[in-house]
Amino acid sequence: MADKSRPERPHVSSDTVTTVLKRVIAENGRDHIKGYALAVLSLAIVALTTAFTAWIMESVVNEAFANKRADLVILICGSIFLAFVLRGFATYFQAVILSKIGNNIVARYQRRLYSHLMALSVGFFSESRSAYLAAQISQNVTGIRDVLNMTVTSVARDFLTLVALIGVMLSKDWILTLIVFFVAPPLLIGLRYVSKRLRSATRESVELNSHVLGAMQETVQGITIVKAFTMEAQLKDKVEGIIARAENRSNRIARLSERTAPMTEAFAGFAISGVLGYAAYRSIYGGILPGAFFSFVTALLMAYEPAKRLARLQVSLERAVVNARMIYEILDLKPRQADRPDAKALAVTDATITFKDVRFGYSDNETILKGLNFTAEGGKTTALVGPSGAGKSTVISLIPRFYDPAEGEILIDGQDIAHVTKQSLRNAIAYVSQQPYLFEGTIRDNIRYGRPEATDAEIEEAARHAYAHDFILAQPLGYETPVGENGVTLSGGQRQRLSIARALVRNAPILLLDEATSALDTESEQAVQKALDEAMSGRTVVVIAHRLSTVVRADKIIVMQDGAVAEEGSHATLASRENGLYARLNSLQAPVANTDKNAE
């Protein structure tokens, strides 16, 4: 069997601006074509009214000031007023439409990202720092929106405005227009050079800023450890170093981006000074009315801003495309554990779990499980014990297919779990981890995550079995009490009992316990152990235990060492074996157990 345990890794894309733009348009253009059509119409109105304002300047100067035609002044002023009113409304509508489309695109990709991340394997998240991943997504998701909006705005407003104004300039004086465009090619070459250098700098900046946000988020999440170990100075130096690198990279981007300013300003200065010199010469020595000149200069000055924005478009698009490309790198990851085409729903009868010659390692250069064979009989409790690093937690991770084995088979009632749907497999499993995790929301919400359709009565019954009901009622709002971030308002034992209640309300035939009582004090452990004894009845239970006193009543104990089964049997059988691994572990823990009893 091919090894499917390896985590998905993002492929660093080198797609060009055109490639990314085509993909963004293909994914979003059809859904928003009406909105973009209205926005383009509004932007076209903005472009035409801007060109009209420049075009009518000839009539203003010649008719109102040179020929003194008072009868035309009202008509000219009215048309200018109407043009500005139309441009104002058109600007408003295009801004609102593009904002709504942009917000929809951001929301759509946020939903896609979340859904896609849920489809990726546990291995991906083990290899990716969650804080960095969250920061990277929050920074980059707007890049796709910006790619589209900048393209539409630049084409429909800036390009159309520039074309219309160039038309006005050509109609007034084609020689002056040629003077203006004489220096355009050198400007375009310079801007292309800047945009290429900006591409790599922008990606580095995004990654560094993600590291900054990720480091801050990790510090906040682990603030108690930071304080307890007086790590403030160490983390301060580390984060300040990252911030300094991010600042330097951002400064480099600013220098590269703003290099366009002297280029475009020099271009504008040369063009306008040349036009003024030529027009002055014609007016002084040729006696030509100044109306056409003023109209031309007005069009030229109005064309400066859209021309400058278009000149900077590739530079701006490079920055937005880097953001979009990094989002696509995540979306393009192929889940390693997708259901097979022939996958069927798991049919559970007595929920017997069998490991057949299972081999597994988290990386290519390590092997955790080395031909593991054992059977957890249906409706009975199987305990996994052994020294640290023996592979106990790995076994628990393989049953719900958090990872897939490199070789061998894992069977439930004779069905290879590699050939069943993950949804049906995990629906048959309740899981309690060593480190309890609670989600934002109320206590009732967190228990209900075990089974969304559970009634309030079933939730409270599960809490009673987990010995959590009494402390829940003691909370300010009872079951409606918010738990805070990861249950920060609750003790470790209380969080674990809520985690157990969440597993109990699931009412699944298979129960996985990864040292579920490790966070509990002695009194809570005894109470929860009673609850677990009741919950285990009639279920297939696989439990990991470091304290052997918690598994003495297990139907079968599997002793693991170095990724394989060293011994198996009942507590009495294994404890009586001379020189056996279990007997040795039991003798080491016996003095501790006796001390606990004497203390009681």
Single-letter amino acid, residue 429: I
Selection from 352, 405, 382 nearest residue 560 by Cα:
382
Contact 380, 351 (CB under 8 A): no
**What pLDDT is attached to residue 203?**
66
Which pairs with CB-CB distance under 8 Å and at least 24 residues apart come from 33-40? 35/97, 35/100, 35/101, 36/97, 36/101, 36/152, 38/93, 38/94, 38/97, 39/93, 39/94, 39/97, 39/98, 39/101, 39/152, 39/156, 40/152, 40/155, 40/156
Query: Could you tell me which residues come within 8 angstroms of residue 85 by beta carbon, excluding any fewer than 6 positions away?
Result: none
pLDDT at 352: 94
Spans of all domains in the chain: 17-331, 349-428+542-600
Distance CA 555, CA 575 (A): 14
Sheet containing strand 510-514, edge to edge, reads 429-432, 510-514, 540-544, 381-385, 556-561, 564-569
Write out pLDDT tens, residues 553-565.
888 999 999 899 9
38 neighbors 100 (Cβ within 8 angstroms): no
CATH 1.20.1560.10 fits 17-331, yes or no: yes
3-state secondary structure of 472: helix
Q: What pLDDT was estimated at residue 6?
A: 47
Q: Tell me the pLDDT band of 200, cut-offs 50, 70 and 90.
A: low
Q: Check: CB of residue 119 under 8 Å from CB of residue 335.
A: yes
Banded pLDDT at 188 (limits 50, 70, 90) = low
| Beta-carbon count within 10 A of 153 CB | 19
223: number of Cβ within 10 Å: 12
Q: Residue 354: its pLDDT value, please?
A: 95
Residue 524: both structure tokens together:
């809570």
The torsion angles phi and psi of 384, rounded to 5 degrees, stand at -110, 120
Alpha-carbon gap, residue 450 to 14, rounded angstroms: 43
pLDDT of residue 598: 41
Kindly give the interhelix angle for 522-536 and 492-506, rounded to the nearest 10 degrees: 10
Cα 213 to Cα 424: distance, rounded to the nearest angstrom: 37
Q: What number of H helices and E strands is found in the chain?
A: 24, 10
Summarize pLDDT for 471-516 with one digit per residue, the tens. 999 998 999 999 876 677 787 778 888 988 998 898 899 999 887 6
Dump pLDDT digits (tens) for 108-121. Answer: 888 888 888 888 87
Q: What is the pLDDT of residue 589?
A: 67
Most confident stretch, 160-174, 299-313, 467-481: 467-481
- For residue 342, the Cα-to-chain-centroid distance in whole angstroms is 31
Determine the Cα–Cα distance for residues 183 and 185; give it in Å rounded to an integer: 6
β-partners of residue 356 are: 409
- Three-state DSSP class for residue 192: helix
In angstroms, the CA 510 to CA 425 distance is 10
Count of Cβ atoms closer than 10 Å to residue 255 Cβ: 13
Give the pLDDT band of residue 9 (cuts 50, 70, 90). low
Residue found by looking up tokens 């129960």 in the block = 511
pLDDT score, position 198: 66
Distance CA 148, CA 30 (A): 13
Residue 44 pLDDT > 80: yes
- Helices 313-331 & 142-153, crossing angle to 10 degrees? 140
CATH value of 349-428+542-600 in 3.50.50.60, 3.40.50.300, 3.40.30.10, 3.40.50.720: 3.40.50.300
Instruction: Give residue-wise pLDDT tens across range 513-562.
Output: 887 666 566 766 776 677 677 677 778 999 997 777 677 888 899 999 98
pLDDT, position 426: 92
Q: According to the model, what pLDDT value does residue 66 have? A: 65
pLDDT value of residue 89: 93
DSSP secondary structure letter of residue 475:
S
What is the phi/psi pair of residue 464, to 5°? -65, -45
Question: Torsion over CA of 441, 443, 444 and 448, rounded to 10 degrees?
Answer: 80
Query: Is residue 353 packed enough to be buried (19+ CB in 10 Å), middle (13-18) or exposed (0-12)?
Result: buried
Residue 585's identity, in one-letter code, is L
Which pLDDT score, from 0 to 100, does residue 351 have? 92
Please give the C-alpha separations between residue 209 and each of 128, 243, 484, in angstroms, as whole numbers: 16, 8, 27
**Lowest-confidence pick of 138-142, 302-306, 447-451:** 138-142
